[in-house]
Amino acid sequence: MINSTTTRIACFGGIYNNYLALEAAIADARSRGVDDMFCLGDMGAFGPHPDRVFPLLHEHSVACIQGNYDDSIGNELDDCQCGYTDPRDNYFAQISYDYTLANTSAENRKFLQQLKPQLELDLAGKRVLLCHGSPRKVNEFLWESTTSSHFLDQLCQQGGFDAIACTHTGLKWERRLSDNRLFVNVGVLGRPENDGTHHVWYTLLSVVDGKVTAEFCPVDFDYGRLAREMRDEKLPAEFVKTVETGWWTTCLEVLPAKERRLGSF
Amino acid sequence: MSSDSTAPNSTPSDSTQPSAARARTAPLVELEHMDDLWFQVAGTLCNLTCHHCFISCSPKNKNFGFLSLADVRSRLAESVELGVKEYYFTGGEPFLNPDMVEILVATLGFGPATVLTNGTVFKDEWLEQLRTAEQESIYSLEFRVSIDGFSSETNDPIRGEGTFDRAMKGVIQLVEFGFMPIITAARTWPDEEEQTVVGQFVEMLKKAGYSRPRLKILPTLQIGAEVERTGGYRESERVDHQMMEDFEMSQLVCNHSRIVTDRGVHVCPILIETPDALLSQTLKESTKPFAMAHGACLTCYQYGSICSNASSGGKNSN
């Protein structure tokens, strides 16, 4: 448990090598006067130049927890442990993973290896858990349309948390639970939300009227440059298309019906 | 249950109680958390008689009966305290149950619902009601439609004459109502043909008007009607303690699921006909560990999370 006088924090979800969005998100969060910044894991995947993410995290004192990707890269495992089940999804995930592992320095791998999987903090007297997939499993997908409220209530009650924040799915959402508890998926910085736009999202957490409250913040970044660099690095055209169009082209089979219908593919 | 669902009443080799010695020595699986609650909502009654059905459902099999709306409501209320995350409905053919639409509407007030169907008996007014219910809910309603081949020639020998055309009509009905059904097929082809068969499936579905088809391929379970096709599991085909070392337990259905039938609460949707799988009358009491003493447990062990949707991934971090 981190004890602090923190009252307003920024939570960044998966970065997926998108150092351009990370840089923009840090600037945006600073302009909003946050006390602290956190990253909920998955620094690598999808985008180009993995090593460009880490200096930003260190320079701006972004406290990080370990996602499944970080565990894999840090320990040089065979795959990303994302939890996909479809062969096509796994095919593209493996391309991305092999590239990221090959391009992450030993020093940065060591940094990822030593990260803790969860972090508890005191936010103006409220107990908040930051985790990657869920409090019980690093790569669990908690989608808005397939996660019952009583399941989330139980997670909060068992851990004694006023709020739980996670990432992993790539889609932000929040739900107010019993006793004003909050569950929030903070979204990701790595790629747009499968909604046909170019921006990405992070989340501000603060305590308003005695309850933990989330504010979702859009982040514009130079997506054209990201796309160019992805091409230069010979990353799959399918990934580049997502950056340029805002629609997911891969990793679609894990989406539940409601979330899948919102996309284009 | 359809191929995606379940099975039989004849003489399934795996529907008998395992020997006392085997039950004593088989690895025990703890229920880590009741993520998925299943309902054998149509019992064993089905309008089809598929050759690979693992509980031999048929128009004449009334071994298990329907669950009423009141039955399901009572179980939904019971499930809240246990923190159940998702609800699944199977049979037989769920839509033979006259309460089915109301059951799904009620469930969407509690959590996400998935229904496993053969897709041959839908009425437009039901789908209209369900579309409205899903739009008004924060939760997804998933349809899993069983089709076991990409053509009449490959599907009908397994599921019955004319069933391919009837099921495809159901798929297109769902698509027209805005649903994105998950087409589930039991793997009745050799592994080396998988890529080709899946490709043919996708092409067929797109051509029929389902532009973004979703597919789930399942292993066959050598119990129920499938015993006649494959000979069932050999006595040696069981999970042992050595195999459980360093095994990811969350891949096993019994690690995170239970199923309600008209007889009580059983360990998993696959084994409802085996006496030792009937655990209790209440959900709360059904949380005891289960001995993996059955042949079907080996298939579950080998393939992992065969009953859940892909969106529940992360349970099977393979």
Amino acid B168 reads M
| Selected residue of B139, B217, B284, B307 to mutate for chain A interface (largest A Cβ count, 10 A) | B139
Residue B317: pLDDT band by 50, 70, 90 thresholds? very low
CA triple A244-A245-A248, angle to 5 deg: 110
Domains detected in chain A: 8-262 (3.60.21.10)
Q: List, for chain A, all residue ranges whose pLDDT scores fall below the cut of 70.
A: 1-5
Q: Which residues pair with B62 in a beta bridge?
A: none
pLDDT at position B233: 87
Write the residue in B85, B141, B309 that is nearest to A151 by C-beta.
B85
Which residues does chain A have within 8 Å of residue B217's beta carbon, measured at their own beta carbons?
A: none
User: Is the pLDDT reported for residue B6 higher than 80?
Assistant: no
Helix (H) or strand (E) holding A166: strand A163-166
Cβ–Cβ below 8 Å for A68 and B317? yes
pLDDT at position A1: 54
Beta carbons within 10 angstroms of residue A1's beta carbon: 10
Flag whether residue B308 sits within 8 Å of chain A, measured between CB atoms.
no
User: Is the pLDDT reported for residue B82 higher than 50?
Assistant: yes
Helix (H) or strand (E) holding A111: helix A106-113
User: Is the pLDDT reported for residue B5 higher than 60?
Assistant: no
CATH of span B34-236+255-288: 3.20.20.70
| Selected residue of A85, A94, A152, A183 to mutate for chain B interface (largest B Cβ count, 10 A) | A85
Give the residue on A whose Cα is nearest the Cα of B179: A257
Flag whether residue B177 sits within 8 Å of chain A, measured between CB atoms.
no
Max intra-chain CA distance, chain B: 54
Which residues does chain B have within 8 Å of residue A90's beta carbon, measured at their own beta carbons?
A: none
B316: closest CA among B263, B266, B251, B246? B251
Residue B227: pLDDT band by 50, 70, 90 thresholds? confident
DSSP secondary structure, chain B, as one string: --SSS-B-SS--TTSSPPPHHHHHHSPEE------EEEEETTTTB-S---TT-TB--BTT--SS-PPPHHHHHHHHHHHHHHT--EEEEESS-GGGSTTHHHHHHHHTTTS-EEEEE-SSS--HHHHHHHHHHHHHSSS-EEEEEE--SSSHHHHHHHH-TTHHHHHHHHHHHHHHTT---EEEEE--S-GGGHHHHHHHHHHHHHHHT-SS-EEEEE---SSTTHHHHH----TT-S--TGGGTT--GGGSGGGTEEEEETTEEES-SS-TTSGGGEEESSTGGGGS-EE--SHHHHHHHHH-S-SS-GGGTTSS--
Give the residue on A whose Cα is nearest the Cα of B88: A146
Give CA–CA dist B307/B177, Å, rounded: 25
Helix axes B152-159, B163-176, angle to 10 degrees: 110
Cβ–Cβ below 8 Å for B313 and A84? yes
Query: Is the separation of the CB atoms in B255 and B301 below 8 Å?
Result: no
Beta carbons within 10 angstroms of residue B16's beta carbon: 13
Per the prediction, chain B carries an average pLDDT of 90
User: Is the pLDDT reported for residue B9 higher than 50?
Assistant: no
Q: Which pLDDT tens digit goes with each residue over B231-281?
A: 788 888 899 999 999 998 988 999 999 999 999 999 999 999 999 999 999
User: Is the pLDDT reported for residue B96 higher than 70?
Assistant: yes
pLDDT at position B220: 79
Region B109-127: what's the mean pLDDT? 98
Cα–Cα separations (whole angstroms), residue B84 to A169, B22, B33, B250? 20, 31, 8, 15
pLDDT at position B11: 38
Domain locations in chain B as residue ranges: 34-236+255-288
Give CA–CA dist A231/A242, Å, rounded: 12
Q: Which of A238-242, B80-84, B127-131, B149-153 has the lowest mean pLDDT?
A: B149-153
Cβ–Cβ below 8 Å for A155 and B83? yes
Cβ–Cβ below 8 Å for A148 and B85? yes
ipTM score: 0.94
Strands B28-29 and B36-40: unpaired
| Selected residue of B34, B82, B84, B85 to mutate for chain A interface (largest A Cβ count, 10 A) | B85
DSSP reduced 3-state for A2: strand
Amino acid B111 reads G
CA dihedral A71, A74, A78, A84 (to 10 degrees): 30
Residue B294 region, left (φ>0) first, then alpha (ψ -120 to 50), else beta? Answer: beta
Query: Is the separation of the CB atoms in B234 and B298 below 8 Å?
Result: no
Cβ–Cβ below 8 Å for A86 and B85? no
- Rounded to a whole number, what is the distance in Å from the CA of A94 to chain B's nearest CA? 13
> In the numeric block, which tokens belong to residue A46?
């999808």
Report the percentage of chain B scoring pLDDT > 70. 92
Residues whose CB is less than 8 angstroms from the CB of residue A13 and which lie 6 or more positions away in sequence, other chains included: A39, A40, A42, A167, A168, A170, A172, A185, A186, A187, A188, A189, A190, A201, A202, A203
Write the residue in A81, A145, A265 that is nearest to B112 by C-beta.
A145
Residue B10: pLDDT band by 50, 70, 90 thresholds? very low
Q: Of residues B175 and B300, which shows the higher confidence score? A: B175
Q: What's the predicted TM-score (pTM) here? A: 0.94
